[in-house]
């Protein structure tokens, strides 16, 4: 049986609310030491910019909409495993949210069963610590 997850890229709607730009369902390996670790490692290698000055730039996203497209391209490598879902689809137990703050820094938030277990920069994502937080939720 797979450990399902949802990875959502979320932006401000300009009116104090939020809009889901991408909602990707993962069919397996959604736990922190699987998809969570892979997502954080990849995100921490990226730089978000506002405007393209070098079309050959590696590990760069031109804003959050470019980042949303790159997330899908990174993980959807063939048949199965990852699927795009409607923005209104409810998150799975393992849920990852990607945002870009006002300083163009990537933020990653993880919830388990709707409870926040991580919120910070991807470089600070530690799967073992997050697993312990999840276990504590149900002690």
How large is the average pLDDT for residues 91-116? 95
> Comparing 2 with 50, which gets the higher pLDDT?
50
Q: What is the predicted pLDDT for the residue at 1? A: 55
Range of the domain at 9: 5-137
Q: What is the pLDDT of residues 40-96, one digit of tens each?
A: 999 999 999 998 877 778 899 999 999 999 999 999 999 999 999 999 999 898 999
Whether residue 20 has pLDDT greater than 60: yes
Q: What is the predicted pLDDT for the residue at 55? A: 77
Q: What is the predicted pLDDT for the residue at 54? A: 77
**How many folded domains does the chain comprise?**
1
In this structure, how many other beta carbons lie within 10 angstroms of the beta carbon of residue 94? 25
- pTM passes above 0.85: yes
If DSSP codes are grouped into helix, strand and coil, which group holds residue 18?
Answer: strand
Which tokens is 68 given? 């949303």
| Cα distances (angstroms) measured from residue 83 to each of 12, 72, 136 | 23, 9, 31
Q: What is the predicted pLDDT for the residue at 84? A: 97
Residue 21: burial class (beta carbons within 10 Å; 0-12, 13-18, 19+)? middle
Q: What is the predicted pLDDT for the residue at 139? A: 77
């Amino acid at each position: 049986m797979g450990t399902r997850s949802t990875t959502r890229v979320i932006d401000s709607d300009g009116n104090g609310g939020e809009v889901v730009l991408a909602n990707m369902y993962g069919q397996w390996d959604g736990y922190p030491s699987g998809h969570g670790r892979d997502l954080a490692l990849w995100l921490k290698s990226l730089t978000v910019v506002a405007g393209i000055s070098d079309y050959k730039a590696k590990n760069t996203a031109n804003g959050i909409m470019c980042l949303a497209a790159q997330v899908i391209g990174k993980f959807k490598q063939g048949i199965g495993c990852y699927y795009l879902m409607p923005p209104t689809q409810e998150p799975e137990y393992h849920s990852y949210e990607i945002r870009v703050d006002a300083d163009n820094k990537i933020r990653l938030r993880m919830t388990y069963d709707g409870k926040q277990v991580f919120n910070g920069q991807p470089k600070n994502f530690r799967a073992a610590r997050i697993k312990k937080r999840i276990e504590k939720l149900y002690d």
